[in-house]
Amino acid sequence: MKPILHLHPDVKKALDEKKPIVALESTIISHGMPYPDNVKMALDVEKIIKDQGAVPATIAILKGEIHVGLSKEDIEFLAKEPGVYKVGKRDFGYVISQKKTGATTVSGTSVIANLAGIEVFATGGIGGVHRGAQETFDISRDLEELAALNICVVCAGAKSILDLGLTLEYLETKGVEVIGYQTDLLPAFYSRTSPFKVNYRLDHPKEIADLLHAKWSLGLTGGAVVANPIPEPYSMDHQVIDQAIEKALAEANLKGVKGQHVTPFLLSKIKEITGGESLESNIELVYNNARLAAMIAIELNQYKK
């Protein structure tokens, strides 16, 4: 059985005509930012991708139906609707069978993008190994989908609330390349650098497309992470962010916040602690990733021709 994917007309046309497409997640709309910032961000990201010459495909589940590409009305609905589920691989069966509405996470978006034949995906930051995972075993499903699916995820590195060192070790075990775009160091979401090195530095979108084509042409399954540093004017001091994270983590532990609720709780608290500065940085890094993802999709698309 193949799932029914409701393709937006622009996405269907792009697939039929073998045009470059960039997948986009939807949890950033329903769980990542407040209204109306979330709607503006989502529409601006789609415009950035279109302006580069690619087609955006925001992915979500609306009343039990998988949508690849959303209308403006769909985005408004996701942004305002209460009780929207966060959907990763574990959640598809329930949300679809119960006709619920769900916003796809990085892992969930990767699954649907792969089913639709979309190879490039732009997001803010990937999930990974959480701090204290030695005791909690809290490891994001994002890493498993990156290992299993032929998907290129363009991000500002792993979310800085994570254990970056263990996340890199986990990706290495799974055979997932971490490519630094014009950087030798892994960006840490809000900050341009971290103490950790990427596997490979590549300075041009075509070089990234060449690497992906070389890997997948060999029949090697699995994705790649393209770590794209946040633009310099919006980069935040690593120590300031780390202090905010430690404070937010302490509060999360005190309140017993667990599982899927950890990341949105921490991001919300960090925004509060930084006086909203982290929200602006979050938006700008998403724009930056969308732009690069579109350029990579265009270069990768040349191989299809």
Structure confidence by residue, pLDDT tens digits, 175-188: 999 999 999 999 99
Which of 25, 46, 145, 299 does the annotation list as catalytic?
Answer: 25
Q: What is the pLDDT of residue 178?
A: 98
**Nearest CA among 15, 52, 253 for reference residue 154:** 52
**SS3 assignment, position 68:** strand
Query: What would the CATH number be for the domain defined by 5-232+281-304?
Result: 3.40.1790.10
Q: What is the pLDDT of residue 236?
A: 85
Which of residues 240 and 115 earns the better pLDDT score?
Answer: 115
Helix, strand, coil shares of the chain, percent, nearest 5, are 50, 20, 30
Average the pLDDT over 280-291 and give the result.
Answer: 94
Tens digits of residue pLDDT in 203-236: 999 999 999 999 999 999 999 999 999 999 999 8
Task: For residue 266, give Cα distances in angstroms to 41, 80, 81, 117, 302.
Answer: 20, 21, 22, 33, 40
What sign results for the dihedral spanned by CA atoms 270, 274, 279, 281?
negative
**Nearest CA among 86, 115, 80, 114 for reference residue 100:** 86
The pLDDT > 70 percentage for the chain reads 97
Average the pLDDT over 104-130 and give the result.
Answer: 95
Tell me the sheet residues that pair with 154: 122, 226
Q: What is the pLDDT of residue 246?
A: 80
Residue-range domain boundaries for the chain:
5-232+281-304
* pLDDT over 70 (residue 19): yes
Dist. CA 114–CA 199, nearest whole Å: 24
Q: What is the pLDDT of residue 252?
A: 80
Q: To the nearest whole number, what is the mean pLDDT of the chain? A: 92
Tell me the sheet residues that pair with 129: 139
Determine whether 159 is an active site residue: yes
- The pLDDT confidence band at residue 240, using thresholds 50, 70 and 90, is confident
- The pLDDT confidence band at residue 293, using thresholds 50, 70 and 90, is very high
Which of 46, 76, 119, 159 does the annotation list as catalytic?
Answer: 159
Dist. CA 251–CA 110, nearest whole Å: 31
Average the pLDDT over 102-109 and give the result.
Answer: 97
Average the pLDDT over 279-301 and give the result.
Answer: 95
Number of Cβ within a 10 Å radius of residue 233: 7
Q: What is the pLDDT of residue 222?
A: 97
Give the strand pairing for 21-24 and 120-122.
Answer: parallel
Q: What is the pLDDT of residue 200?
A: 98
Count Cα neighbours of 216 within 13 Å in the Cβ-side half-sphere: 19
Task: For residue 177, give Cα distances in angstroms to 110, 170, 201.
Answer: 16, 11, 11
Distance of alpha carbon 206 from its chain centroid, rounded? 21
Q: Which two tokens stand for residue 82?
A: 């209460």
Q: What is the torsion angle, in degrees rounded to the nearest 10, for the CA atoms of residue 155, residue 160, residue 166 and residue 168?
A: 20
